[in-house]
Homo-oligomer: A and B are copies of this chain.
Amino acid sequence: MEEWRGMPVVKAIAEDVTARMEVLAKKDIVPTLAVVRVGEREDDLSYERGLTKRFDSVGAKVVVKVLPVDVSEEELARVITECNEDKDIHGILLFRPLPKHINEKAVTELVSARKDVDCMTLTNFAHTFAQDGQGHEPCTAQAVMEMLKFYGYDLTGKKAVVIGRSMVVGKPLSMMLQKKNATVTMCHTKTVDVAEVCRDADIICAAAGVPKMVTSDYMSEGQVIIDVGINVVDGALCGDVDYEAAKEKAAYATPVPGGVGTVTTSVLLLHTVKSAEEV
């Protein structure tokens, strides 16, 4: 099996972004992401550190707006509106879930679609569904597509299986794989025999959030196996795929950690740069 790691993809995106940022620099534009964070949840802080490092590495900017956990909906809305109107901010990332006293859907919809670089708004859902080349797609789903593009995998005519039907990964990824002419089967918790469906596929994308659920029994020789899962088991990170089994059967597979997850913040950077270019 050949391992498809995320880091070479990260580097390729960084090169692309650097070239595009040179053009922007001539217009005194520095791609800038506003992170709106309510409280100090460890997950959020960890992701924030990761993306800040990634943005820093190419000279793009991250501005963090921290609000107390008891912030009013009005105040949070005011901060988002301020980011919408600030011409030096090109992308907005709002950490969710929000505290329960806040109407999360309503607040999320306040983010301007153009600056909604992680596809949280209805407008960007619609563009992702239609695959009309407009708007921003969800970063993790697009990270999978960036991996496939980088490693030169042609999806036309391939049988793809997506496990998981979330709006963050499963559904958008299904639409994106279909756009590239794969025949996509969407599996989920009510699918009777996921293993059987998977064995019949050319490419498996696991986004179920179930540690190592894709066992040897799900695989057949020569497949591509993309692991989008990020689970913590006994204090260690693992994906949705039994990687040892993949090593035996797959032609190509992505590890966890070091695979798709590594690329997500690079896609966030790509979207922020794209948004800055469209100013």
Contacts and interface: CB of A to CB of B under 8 A. Distances in A.
Given A183-B197, A186-B174, A157 B191 contact: yes
Contacts of A126: 122-123, 125-126, 129
Q: How many copies does the complex hold?
A: 2
Nearest to A179: B165
Contacts of A192: 157, 183
A191 B182 CA distance: 7
B186 A130 contact: no
Given A125-B126, A127-B122, A175-B171, A190 B181 contact: yes
Interface in A145-195: 156-157, 165, 167, 171, 174-175, 178, 181, 183-188, 190-192
A32 interface: no
B191 A178 contact: no
A223 interface: no
A128 interface: yes
Interface of A: 122-123, 125-130, 156-157, 165, 167, 171, 174-175, 178, 181, 183-188, 190-192, 197
14 contacts: A126-B129, A128-B129, A129-B167, A130-B167, A156-B190, A157-B191, A157-B192, A171-B175, A178-B188, A183-B186, A183-B188, A183-B190, A183-B197, A186-B186
